[in-house]
Amino acid sequence: MLALQMQHISKSFPGVRALSDVSFDLRPGEVHALVGENGAGKSTLMKILAGAISADQGDILIDDKPVNIANPAQAIAAGVGVIYQEFNLVPHLSVAENIFLGREPRNAGFIRWGELWAGAQRELDRIEARISPRSLVAGLSVAQQQLVEIAKALSLKARIIVMDEPSATLTDHELLTLFAIISTLKQEGVSVVYISHRLEEIFEVADRVTVLRDGQHVATEDVANLTREDIVRMMIGRELETVEFTTSATPRPLLQVEGLTRAVGEPPLSLTLHEGEILGIAGLVGAGRTEFVRAVFGADRPVGGSVTLDGVAVPLGSVRAAIRRGIGLVPEDRKQQGLILDMAIRENITLANLKAVASGGFVRPKAERHAAEGYVDDLRIATPSIEQKARNLSGGTQQKVALAKWLFTKCKVLIFDEPTRGVDVGAKGEIHEIMRALARQGAGIIMISSELPEVLKMSDRVIVMREGHVTGEVPRAEATQERIMTLATGGR
Amino acid sequence: MASGARISVAEFLFRYGIVAGLVILCLGFAIFTPEHLFVQKDNIINVANQISINCILAVGMTFVIITAGIDLSVGSVLAVAGVLVAMAMGGATGAVAVCIGLATGLAVGGLAGWFNGACVANFGLPPFIATLAMMLVARGAAFVISHGQPVYNLPDTFRKIGQSPELPIPIPVFIMAAVVAVAWVLLSKTTFGRYVLAIGGNEEAARLSGIAVARVKALVYAMAGALAGLAGVILASKLGSGDPKSGQFYELDAIAAVVVGGTSLMGGRGSIFGTVIGALIIGVMNNGLSLLEVDQYWQWIVKGGVILTAVLLDQTAKR
């Protein structure tokens, strides 16, 4: 018996064939990884399973019986639970209220709170989540919120759980907890579809893997029979060239941050960035890395300290001043902070330096198009037109647009906050290559990343943060996963 | 989109759908009004004259709404500007009177709008609350300053702005056309317009791109206020007095025109072209329904229905 069979699924959107004749199945108690580059059709396939959209053709069978999934309610009734990258939780309600949202135990319209707390506790215990049912979701970490989502899916009697990029926002430690939960689920006979761009995880957690490319099924194999290179080759349809590390760091200091204090009571932070250097900032989620670089960039006003670029002080707490002096920040959350989603690629690229393609307050359309087209070509931004809205682009393409915006400001220091989160393998390599090229041209790069392999691959030097402090600085030659994790977690 | 050369199918349908709606409305009135009164030359000019004030207010409102804000105070600001314009001109005559009137109207409106902008942009008040307060303050001020009575005895030259039947096209129509043209250029051709759209689309991303969000917003509200002042000048001239009771609910007509014209209340999306069409639809309905001698109360009901339909269309087009 198979837990799930999706047979010969096809789906078209206006102008795009998103899926063509894709079949996918799940054994009971199996973890089945679904991989492919952005736009390969993973999300579309899972949205069909979740009832968010309906297939043009194809059948879905659950426990060998045909089912009709036309809307999310039918998917839930059929035992399908989906944990999306962006959680569907109500921040200002408690954990228990979220788990039972819309199906609270009731008596004549009044919620039976005792039952609610106890029921939520039961679901949380099942996955050994140490979270109080009474906590507000808004106060939980991302990892904890994910656990709430899993508990919610289980409380809905889900037999099939889809996890869309569950690891994207987790630290390595939290990831281990997630893997433990997944193995508990397996023992209970729950099947898991695991979508991830991080191939290392697939070898740790998955039994089988299905690769999609351009809306077509490429292969389904036991993970044990494959290597990482095999999967990458199937995903991108070609060999991925691995770039040797080359340094372009010079001893000349470019950016000096001294005693920067975010808020009263927070520790003062300092760093020096050299010309041509890529400086990695490692640490767990919540270690204060994002807050630190935001303060450097002026996005938040620090209470003390100094930022000096090329020997000249940069006024604190002003994004405008920072940009004028040549500092850029590619933020972590490109949808909320990096891009104007309803604006065209062209408009997003020129936004931070619109004056460069304007005269007397008027935008020069030809110059603007020219600039945007230049970056679309240089960065290989996959789009039919510079007029395409940012909303319609895949994660990797959006990130390249966000990056192009800063390249257009000709900044000397570019800060990347999780530059490749949610970005597919191909685009990730390209983004890394752009960072290298910038460094070669003499720019200084600061890169925050929660992905240790990325930190190790890219950085000339790594600083590690924990609980708001800088706990260590490691030159490239001495940087190892163990050394960095020790500094990040405070272990010995 | 005002800013893009190409538009999607949905946007095309919506943009020209609303034009089609206007055309159908006009055809209907042309056919059914007695002696085809609606399409007589005098009536067409009359419609243009009637919508001028609402259209000017709506243009300012368009910018505010694109930043995801709202300005409830324009009707009251129009009234207080009208009263102060009437008083400021005193015994002045000739072109001097017109200049004093215009300057006072723009200054009073601009100041009130700038105050709105400061509350919203610098102190982070919700636009609804800031401009609701201004709506009350400005209306109250209009009554206090005028002792509750319209200020009469306006200079003849000033009254000419709104009352010159000898001209083939009334002056308010020219003023409206100029305002529309400048606003269209501002929104779709300048860096300022781009910043307004960017702030409405994603304020945080705009700020992190180095856009002076507070300054742009303050300017947008000041502009809406100044245009309300300008509308106050025109209305005072038409009425022959600065009337503290004037302009009541004008803000709602202006918002309706903007929304019917396809500008999103969520911000980031909108056009001056749409607003003009929106103002025309509302104006044509007022005029046509009156010609058909439809009861005033029924006119309100019909207007409400049209606004609902237009916004429903807009949402459908977006999907």
Prediction ipTM score: 0.88
| Residue ranges in chain A whose pLDDT is less than 50 | 492
Q: What is the DSSP letter of B150?
A: -
Query: Tokens representing B295?
Result: 């009861």
Q: Residues A228, A233, A238, CA angle at the centre, nearest 5°?
A: 150
Which pLDDT belongs to residue A362? 96
pLDDT at B59 over 50: yes
Residue B36 C-alpha from the chain's centroid:
29
Strand pairing report for A57-62 and A65-67:
antiparallel
| Residue of A323, A342, A365 with shortest CB distance to B268 | A342
pLDDT digits (tens, 9 = 90+) for A358-404: 999 999 999 999 999 999 999 988 888 999 999 888 888 899 999 99
- Residues in chain A, total: 492
CATH number of B44-318: 1.10.3470
* Confidence grade of residue B8 (pLDDT, cut at 50, 70, 90): low
A351 close contact with B: CB closer than 8 A: yes
Percentage of residues in chain B having pLDDT higher than 90? 80
pLDDT digits (tens, 9 = 90+) for B61-111: 999 999 999 999 999 999 999 999 999 998 888 899 999 999 999 999 999
Q: Contacts by A431-436 with C-beta closer than 8 Å and gap 24+? A: A431/A396, A431/A399, A431/A400, A431/A403, A432/A243, A432/A457, A432/A458, A433/A243, A434/A379, A434/A403, A434/A407, A435/A278, A436/A243, A436/A246, A436/A248, A436/A278
> For residues B101 and B158, what is the distance between their CA atoms, to the nearest angstrom?
8
pLDDT at B319 over 80: no
Contact A351 B6 (CB under 8 A): no
A356 close contact with B: CB closer than 8 A: no
pTM of the model: 0.80
User: Tokens 């500092």 — which residue?
Assistant: A327
Q: What is the DSSP string of A324-363?
A: HHTEEEE-S-IIIII--TTSBHHHHHHGGGGGGGEETTEE
Among A324, A342, A350, A353, pick the best mutation site for testing chain B contact (most B Cβ within 10 A). A342
Sign of dihedral through CA atoms A242, A248, A254, A259?
positive
Residue type, B224: A
Task: Tally the C-alpha atoms within 13 A of residue A341's C-alpha that lie toward its C-beta.
Answer: 13
pLDDT at B57 over 60: yes
> For residues A352 and A129, what is the distance between their CA atoms, to the nearest angstrom?
44
Count of other CB atoms within 10 angstroms of residue A34: 26
- For residues B204 and B196, the answer to whether their CB atoms sit within 8 Å is no
Which pLDDT belongs to residue B11? 59
State the smallest CA–CA distance between residue A351 and chain B in angstroms.
Answer: 7
Q: For residue B202, list chain A residues with Cβ-Cβ distance below 8 A.
A: 336-337, 339-341
Contact A354 B194 (CB under 8 A): yes
* Confidence grade of residue B3 (pLDDT, cut at 50, 70, 90): very low
Q: A398 to each of A67, A334, A345, B78, how far by Cα in Å?
A: 36, 8, 9, 45
pLDDT at B232 over 90: yes
Q: For residue B201, list chain A residues with Cβ-Cβ distance below 8 A.
A: 340-343
Q: Residues A222, A224, A226, CA angle at the centre, nearest 5°?
A: 80
A363 close contact with B: CB closer than 8 A: yes
Comparing alpha-carbon positions, the chain B residue that sits nearest to A342 is: B201
State the smallest CA–CA distance between residue B219 and chain A in angstroms.
Answer: 15
Domain spans in chain B, listed from the N-terminal domain onward: 44-318
pLDDT, chain B, mean? 92
Residue type, A277: E
Which pLDDT belongs to residue B2? 40
Sign of dihedral through CA atoms B151, B156, B159, B164?
positive
pLDDT digits (tens, 9 = 90+) for B295-314: 999 999 998 998 888 778 76
Which pLDDT belongs to residue B10? 57
Comparing alpha-carbon positions, the chain A residue that sits nearest to B190 is: A362
Which pLDDT belongs to residue A245? 77
Comparing alpha-carbon positions, the chain A residue that sits nearest to B267 is: A342
> For residues A273 and A357, what is the distance between their CA atoms, to the nearest angstrom?
30
B271 close contact with A: CB closer than 8 A: no
Contact B208 A405 (CB under 8 A): no
Query: Tokens representing A260?
Result: 């920067």
Who's near B20: CB < 8 A, 6+ residues apart? none
Which pLDDT belongs to residue B44? 94
- For residues B211 and B92, the answer to whether their CB atoms sit within 8 Å is no
User: Tokens 């987790």 — which residue?
Assistant: A170
Residue type, B130: A
B202 close contact with A: CB closer than 8 A: yes
Who's near B163: CB < 8 A, 6+ residues apart? B237, B238, B240
User: Tokens 């736009």 — which residue?
Assistant: A39
Which pLDDT belongs to residue A428? 87
Percentages helix, strand, coil for chain A (3-state, rounded to 5) are 40, 25, 35
Contact B5 A347 (CB under 8 A): no
pLDDT at B317 over 70: no
* Confidence grade of residue B7 (pLDDT, cut at 50, 70, 90): low
* Confidence grade of residue B4 (pLDDT, cut at 50, 70, 90): very low
Q: For residue B211, list chain A residues with Cβ-Cβ distance below 8 A.
A: 351
User: Which of A11-20, A243-252, B12-21, B164-173 has the largest mean confidence?
Assistant: B164-173
| Residue of A331, A336, A362 with shortest CB distance to B189 | A362
